[in-house]
A and B are shown apart, each in its own frame.
Chain A
Amino acid sequence: DTAVSQTPKYLVTQMGNDKSIKCEQNLGHDTMYWYKQDSKKFLKIMFSYNNKELIINETVPNRFSPKSPDKAHLNLHINSLELGDSAVYFCASSQAGVAGPSYEQYFGPGTRLTVT
């Protein structure tokens, strides 16, 4: 059983289009994340939800809108795609993120987005 799954695995689209990426985890975790990994492999947090509540919202263009229908799912919708949005987007999950020791994060397989 896949712990954290993402769809689609690959996404090729043109500038200006709108696209969505879906993520699901079956680990029973309360917290989910979206990361962006650029061509230089830098891994940067974008958003995080804890039990459907947005708790981390980094400096990300408003064109990116996350949504968590329940604590097992976290989707990412991107409007008006730009060339610079091309990257690999990873979903991750962990136990509840509260002050104290950090919990390990489990990553999905990633979605490679190419904007042409």
Chain B
Amino acid sequence: GQQVMQIPQYQHVQEGEDFTTYCNSSTTLSNIQWYKQRPGGHPVFLIQLVKSGEVKKQKRLTFQFGEAKKNSSLHITATQTTDVGTYFCAGPGGGATNKLIFGTGTLLAVQP
């Protein structure tokens, strides 16, 4: 079945360092979403990318959708302790529903 993998599984950075998580799908995606889950919290939608090669920025966060629409990345510049959490990408599961297949997630730890 369709799989969405993320690397790394875990990353520990010093505050101020940059961070990148990569998302790879086994199938071509019509779009990709990113969510953030704080420790003990619930996933919160960050952004959706639709176009091949699309790049979107939200303050220190930069999201990119691959040209082949099978991969995506999230880059955080100058991490802060508030960036701590697990970042998930999610792609459509196909069919006439809004089913999402979530990636395996990347847990980011930021040391002050």
Contacts and interface: CB of A to CB of B under 8 A. Distances in A.
Given A90-B42, A102-B30, 10 more contacts: A31-B98, A41-B86, A42-B105, A43-B43, A43-B105, A48-B97, A97-B96, A97-B99, A101-B50, A102-B48
Nearest to A45: B99
A107 B31 contact: no
Given A41-B107, A43-B105, A45-B93, A105 B98 contact: yes
Interface in A32-75: 41-45, 48, 50, 55-56
Given A41-B105, A102-B92, A107 B43 contact: yes
Contacts of A101: 30-31, 48, 50
Interface residues on B, range: 20 to 34
B102 A102 contact: no
Interface of A: 31, 41-45, 48, 50, 55-56, 90, 92, 94-99, 101-110
Given A42-B104, A43-B105, A45-B93, A102 B98 contact: yes
B88 interface: yes
B97 to A, nearest CB: 5
B98 A110 contact: no
